[in-house]
Structures are given as structure tokens and as C-alpha cells.
């Protein structure tokens, strides 16, 4: 017999989506205290996302200095690789250890990777530095969202999460502009060195702040004694090599090795086999798994993960290959190629903030996801029409459309999760979604690099007679005009444009496939409900415990009702398991 949320509420038990009345007592901070936490956490998240794209406008200069055009994909995918391989473990770390110290540890590793990149003396050293930075970044986004959800009451979270995500998108979008400015005016190395002074300020601010619930964890020694079980290190040792083998296969296929070579096929097969073993292991672990399968099966988790997989995949691809189009085909400087991305930047930030405010006001997030997906997919398809003669009005309009779509879509999953997942499970839920987000970026960039390099080589060999394709590729993107001139240069630019168009066409097909996944998401309404007495937070005693900034219209908002539709019995059963897991966690 199917159990509904209404049935559960009638029986006196909390619905899966409705926190208990005493939940607001977990948000004791005043507004200035909350703002003092939001600022450094959001700034750290900005640096994290800035680092995902800042190298894009510096790539042509880097490839010319290191003679490494075929390594372009690695500069992005190495970062995503380090990020994706470790990211699933971060949810367990935030669950069992002090939130602030885990966050600062990952931030320190991120800063170390940035220093290595800035000091790189070869393409290989730069790739290693990017991987280390990605390793450190793997715990930052999950940590930022976990910290914010612990500091801000549910009815305020849509706007705060939207603000945080919009600044992250601002970092992604501003990366090419900032990278271009550093590359042209100073050195491409400052694309990475900039993280050190700003990051140091962030670390100092966070060091002296108190985060609610950050220390309410089992003693570290007890966790370490049972680390293999409590952190699911065996699961981590399975998922990490599976992801690494997949990334290597995508990066090497068609470049260093043929797609049908034994090495590439072996990597694909090995990745699949190890991943199957990982799933079997996670199944046996149940709720103690690094990625609990009951949690992963819930609609909100897999739909959010699928949405972010495709959104970030196409966003990172655009941020890497659109500057390449402007610099090579349009002959822009590194700085101007970043300036020409301003339509995307402005549209993203404005629409992300607007979407977050609308969700807080009206409570619906599904329309934003659907409309944003349609806009981004349409714009991405239009990008594939770019050529050396594309008019200014066209690439500006297409970028506005694309930025609006990404801005409306990318913050919604992170706004929805804290309202649908029990608080002890929020770090794990966030880790799952962020893992798929950056896994999408890594896979899309690897696939894009394969398409780009293979297409460029074929186009040069077929349509530019008398020109050595290997020489042009080895020269790097910024040195094309030094190698060829006249009619041959025009043909080479067409070859570059065609290669970038093929990248967009391939990624556009993936984007349109992922768009339908978000349509399966059930529509939710986040509606504030005031409790009228009964000893809950609506009582006089509870009223005194709630800071004034959390009150609305003279009433203490005690809970957020999300369920306006019938939920499956699976969701109700999952809630029971989550509460039992919480008790077990406290007993560790």
C-alpha cells in the first residue's frame, strides 16, 4: 500500500520535506554573524569557479610558450579529473569531521596547486598543478553549500544559495576576462598567482569564525580508528581509479592513441568493470556507503545530478573554446577575447540572482530549470554557426541567450536539495551532485578536445594544400599568423572555425539529451508556514530564541513545506532510514 506525505502528517510524524518545528533553533546566528560567514565562503567559491575558466584565454599563450597545442584539453580536464576523483569522499569528510577545518584543509591544497601552476616550467608541470588544484577544489563547493545550509534557515536559503551560485557563475564567466587581462598586461602565470593573496585573506577570515554545528561531530580519533568503515575508503579506492581510467581513455583516444588501440579499449573496459564493482560494494554498504544508493535513487538527487552534469559540461566547453574562436579566428587579443564574453557574464549573473529571488518569492523552481535548459540548448546550437564572418550582433545575442539559460538553471538544484534532504544527509547529497557536475565538465572537455584536435588536423590536411598540419598545430593558437599568410591563412582560419563548430555540435547533442532529464523532476513549491503554538517554535519561548532577521511579518517561521504533491513510499522509507543513520552516527 502506498504511503503519502499526507498520511504521514496525519499520523503525527513529520513528512519527508517538512522539518520539525524545533529545526529553526539550529539557526541561532544574528544577521551580521551570518553575513560574516557568507562573505568569505562566497569569495572562496568565487575563486574556485574562477580557476575553472581563467586559464581559457591564457591557453593560446601557454601553448605557444610550451609548444603544447594538443595538451589544451588537459589544462581543463586535469583540474576536473582531480576534482571528480576525490569529490565523492568529501561528503563523508564533512559528515564526520569539523566542517570548518575540512574546508580550510581543502582550501590549502587548492592554494598549493595554484602555486604549482604559476611556477610551471613545462606543460607537464602545469597539468600536474591543475590536478592538485582540482584535488583541493573538490571539497570547496560542497563545503560552501554545507556551511551556508547550516547558517541560514530554510526560508532564506533560496536567495542566499542563488547569491552564492551566481557569484560562482560570475567567477566562471569572468575567468576568461581576468585571464586575458593578466596574460596580456602581466603574465599568464598570474592567472594562478592571484589565488594566493586573495585566498590567504579568505583563510584568515574563516579561521576566526564559528560555524553552527561544525564541531558537533564524533571525536576524530574514533572516526580514524574506524576510517575504512565510516569513511568508506574502500568505495573511494574503487571510484577514483574508475574515473581516472575513463578520463585517460577520453583524453588519449584519437590523440596519442587510436580509438581501437588496446590501451584505449583497455582503459574503457577497466573503468566499466571497476565501476560495476564499486556499485556492488556500495549496495552491500547500504546507508554507510560513500554514495548511498537509496539516496541516489531519490528523484531530487538524480535529477539534480543529471542537470548539473550537462549544464557544467557545456558551460566549461564554451568558456574554453569561445575565447579560442575570438583569438584565432577573429584575431582578438587575450584581453579582448575576455571582453567579448561579457554578454555571457552579465546575463548569467543577472538571471541567477533573479531566479533565486523568484524561487524565494513564489516557491517554484521547475519553471526556471525548464526555461533555462531550453534557452541554453538553443543558444548552444546557434554557436555552431560561427564562422570567420559571423557578425557582432549575432555572437552577442547568442551569448546573452546562453548566459540567461545557464544562469536560470545552474543554481536551482542546490536551492532544492536542502529543502528535500534531511540535514545530516545534506553534505552527502551535495557531494553527489557536485561530483556529477564536475564529472560532466571533465568528460565534455575531454570529448571536446578529441573532436577539436582530430577535426583541425583533418581540415588542415584536406583543405589547406601545401601546409604542414603538424607545423601549424605545434605553433600554437596565437602563432598561426606567424606561420601562414594570405590565402593559406584564410583557409587555416576556416579550419579552426570548423573544428570549433564541430565541438559545439557534438556538445549540443549531449546538452539536448540532458535537457529532458530535468523535465522529469516533479514540481515543488517551497511555502513558508507559521506554527501557531503547541510548544513548537511558534510558541512564546521559541519566539525569543529566533533572531529577528529570521522572523517574517512578526511571526517565527518554523518550517518549510515543500510537498504539494503526493510523494512515493520510497521517499518516506528513506526518511526513516536517514533518521536511524543519524542516531548511529552520534553513537560512533
* pLDDT at position 560 over 60: no
Residues 402-409: what's their mean pLDDT? 87
* pLDDT at position 152 over 70: yes
* pLDDT at position 339 over 60: yes
Higher pLDDT, residue 440 or 567: 440
* pLDDT at position 561 over 60: no
Of the pLDDT bands very low, low, confident and very high (cuts 50, 70, 90), residue 216 is low
pLDDT in tens, 317-333: 887 788 888 888 888 88
What does pTM read for this prediction?
0.67
Determine the pLDDT at residue 100: 86
Count of Cβ atoms closer than 10 Å to residue 513 Cβ: 12
Residues 47-65: what's their mean pLDDT? 82
Question: Counting every residue, how long is the chain?
Answer: 588
C-alpha distance from residue 581 to each of 72, 229, 297, 578 (Å): 45, 14, 17, 5
pLDDT in tens, 501-533: 888 776 555 555 444 444 344 444 444 433 333
Weakest-pLDDT range from 100-114, 127-141, 199-213, 258-272: 199-213
Cα torsion 166, 514, 176, 60 to 10°: value is 170
* pLDDT at position 176 over 50: yes
Residues 20-44: what's their mean pLDDT? 70
C-alpha distance from residue 486 to each of 482, 490, 493, 498 (Å): 11, 7, 11, 19
pLDDT in tens, 6-30: 343 333 334 333 444 334 455 566 7
In which element (H, E) is residue 199 found?
helix 195-207
* pLDDT at position 214 over 60: no
- Give φ, ψ of 585 to 5 degrees: -60, -40
Highest mean pLDDT among 331-335, 470-474, 491-495: 491-495
Count of Cβ atoms closer than 10 Å to residue 524 Cβ: 22
CA distance 512 to 585: 41
pLDDT in tens, 234-283: 888 888 889 888 878 877 777 678 888 999 999 999 999 999 999 999 88
Weakest-pLDDT range from 25-29, 65-69, 152-156, 375-379: 25-29
For residue 52, which of 95, 7, 83, 26 has the smallest C-alpha distance?
A: 83
Q: State the average pLDDT for the chain.
A: 75
Of the pLDDT bands very low, low, confident and very high (cuts 50, 70, 90), residue 215 is low
Determine the pLDDT at residue 225: 67
CA distance 496 to 457: 9
Determine the pLDDT at residue 185: 86
Determine the pLDDT at residue 18: 40
Residues 207-225: what's their mean pLDDT? 69
* pLDDT at position 381 over 50: yes
Higher pLDDT, residue 573 or 461: 461
C-alpha distance from residue 469 to each of 222, 300, 408 (Å): 60, 48, 41
Weakest-pLDDT range from 64-78, 469-483, 486-500, 538-552: 538-552
Weakest-pLDDT range from 142-146, 176-180, 239-243, 472-476: 472-476
* pLDDT at position 456 over 90: no
Determine the pLDDT at residue 63: 81
Weakest-pLDDT range from 132-146, 255-269, 438-452: 438-452
Domains and CATH numbers, the chain: 27-215+227-231+290-519 (1.20.1250.20), 527-586 (no CATH)
Separation of first and last alpha carbons in the chain:
35
In which element (H, E) is residue 103 found?
helix 99-118
Determine the pLDDT at residue 226: 64
* pLDDT at position 33 over 90: no
Determine the pLDDT at residue 518: 45
Determine the pLDDT at residue 506: 64
Residues 162-185: what's their mean pLDDT? 79
* pLDDT at position 1 over 50: no
Determine what percent of the chain is predicted with pLDDT higher than 90. 12
Higher pLDDT, residue 70 or 439: 439
For residue 386, which of 371, 396, 372 has the smallest C-alpha distance?
A: 396
Query: 124: which residues sit within 8 A by CB, 6+ positions away?
Result: none
Of the pLDDT bands very low, low, confident and very high (cuts 50, 70, 90), residue 229 is low
* pLDDT at position 158 over 80: no
Q: Which residues of 178-195 are buried (b: 16+ CB within 10 A; e: fewer)?
A: bbbbbbbeeebbbbbbbb
Amino acid at each position: 500500500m502506498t504511503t503519502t506525505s499526507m498520511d504521514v502528517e496525519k499520523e503525527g510524524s513529520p513528512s519527508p520535506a517538512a522539518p520539525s518545528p524545533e529545526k529553526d533553533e539550529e539557526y541561532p546566528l544574528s544577521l551580521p554573524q551570518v553575513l560574516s560567514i557568507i562573505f568569505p565562503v562566497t569569495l572562496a567559491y568565487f575563486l574556485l569557479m574562477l580557476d575553472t575558466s581563467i586559464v581559457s584565454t591564457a591557453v593560446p599563450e601557454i601553448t605557444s610558450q610550451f609548444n603544447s597545442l594538443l595538451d589544451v584539453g588537459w589544462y581543463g580536464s586535469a583540474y576536473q579529473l582531480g576534482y571528480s576523483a576525490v569529490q565523492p569522499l568529501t561528503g563523508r569528510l564533512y559528515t564526520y569531521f569539523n566542517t570548518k577545518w575540512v574546508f580550510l584543509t581543502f582550501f590549502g591544497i587548492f592554494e598549493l596547486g595554484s602555486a604549482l601552476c604559476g611556477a610551471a616550467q613545462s606543460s607537464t608541470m602545469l597539468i600536474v598543478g591543475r590536478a592538485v588544484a582540482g584535488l583541493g577544489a573538490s571539497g570547496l563547493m560542497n563545503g560552501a553549500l554545507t556551511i551556508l545550509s547550516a547558517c541560514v534557515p530554510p526560508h532564506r536559503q533560496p536567495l542566499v544559495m542563488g547569491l552564492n551560485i551566481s557569484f560562482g557563475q560570475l567567477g566562471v564567466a569572468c575567468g576568461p576576462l581576468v585571464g586575458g587581462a593578466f596574460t596580456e598586461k602581466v603574465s599568464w602565470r598570474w592567472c594562478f598567482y592571484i589565488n594566493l593573496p586573495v585566498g590567504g585573506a579568505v583563510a584568515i577570515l574563516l579561521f576566526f569564525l564559528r560555524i553552527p554545528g561544525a564541531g558537533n561531530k564524533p571525536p576524530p580519533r574514533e572516526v580514524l580508528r574506524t576510517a575504512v568503515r565510516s569513511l568508506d575508503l574502500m568505495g573511494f579506492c574503487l571510484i577514483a581509479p574508475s574515473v581516472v581510467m575513463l578520463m585517460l581513455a577520453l583524453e588519449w583516444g584519437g590523440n596519442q592513441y587510436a580509438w581501437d588501440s588496446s590501451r584505449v579499449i583497455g582503459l574503457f573496459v577497466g573503468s566499466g568493470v571497476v565501476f560495476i564493482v564499486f556499485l556492488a560494494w556500495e549496495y552491500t554498504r547500504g546507508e554507510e556507503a560513500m554514495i548511498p544508493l537509496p539516496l541516489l535513487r531519490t528523484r531530487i538527487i538524480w535529477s539534480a545530478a543529471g542537470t548539473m552534469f550537462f549544464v557544467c559540461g557545456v558551460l566549461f566547453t564554451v568558456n574554453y573554446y569561445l575565447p579560442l574562436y575570438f583569438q584565432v579566428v577573429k584575431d582578438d587579443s587575450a584581453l579582448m577575447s575576455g571582453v567579448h564574453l561579457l554578454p555571457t557574464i552579465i546575463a548569467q549573473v543577472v538571471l541567477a540572482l533573479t531566479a533565486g529571488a523568484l524561487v524565494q518569492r513564489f516557491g517554484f523552481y521547475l519553471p526556471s530549470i525548464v526555461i533555462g535548459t531550453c534557452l541554453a540548448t538553443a543558444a548552444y546550437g546557434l554557436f555552431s554557426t560561427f564562422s570567420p564572418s559571423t557578425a557582432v550582433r549575432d555572437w552577442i545575442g547568442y551569448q546573452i541567450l546562453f548566459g540567461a539559460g545557464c544562469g536560470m538553471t545552474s543554481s536551482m538544484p542546490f536551492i532544492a536539495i536542502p529543502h528535500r534532504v534531511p540535514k545530516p544527509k545534506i553534505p552527502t547529497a551535495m557531494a553527489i551532485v557536485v561530483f556529477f557536475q564536475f564529472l560532466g565538465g571533465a568528460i565534455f572537455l575531454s570529448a571536446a578536445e578529441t573532436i577539436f584536435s582530430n577535426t583541425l588536423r583533418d581540415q588542415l590536411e584536406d583543405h589547406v594544400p601545401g601546409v604542414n598540419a603538424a607545423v601549424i598545430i605545434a605553433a600554437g593558437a596565437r602563432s598561426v599568423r606567424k606561420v601562414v599568410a594570405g590565402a593559406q591563412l584564410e583557409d587555416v582560419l576556416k579550419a579552426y572555425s570548423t573544428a570549433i563548430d564541430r565541438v559545439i555540435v557534438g556538445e549540443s547533442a549531449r546538452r539536448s539529451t540532458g535537457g529532458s532529464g530535468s523535465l522529469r523532476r516533479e514540481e515543488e513549491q517551497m511555502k513558508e508556514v507559521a506554527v501557531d503554538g503547541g510548544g513548537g517554535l511558534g510558541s512564546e519561548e521559541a519566539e525569543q530564541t529566533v533572531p529577528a532577521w529570521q522572523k517574517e511579518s512578526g511571526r517565527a517561521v518554523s518550517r518549510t513545506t515543500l510537498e504539494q504533491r503526493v510523494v512515493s513510499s520510497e521517499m518516506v522509507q528513506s526518511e526513516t532510514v536517514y533518521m536511524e543513520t543519524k542516531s548511529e552516527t552520534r553513537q560512533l
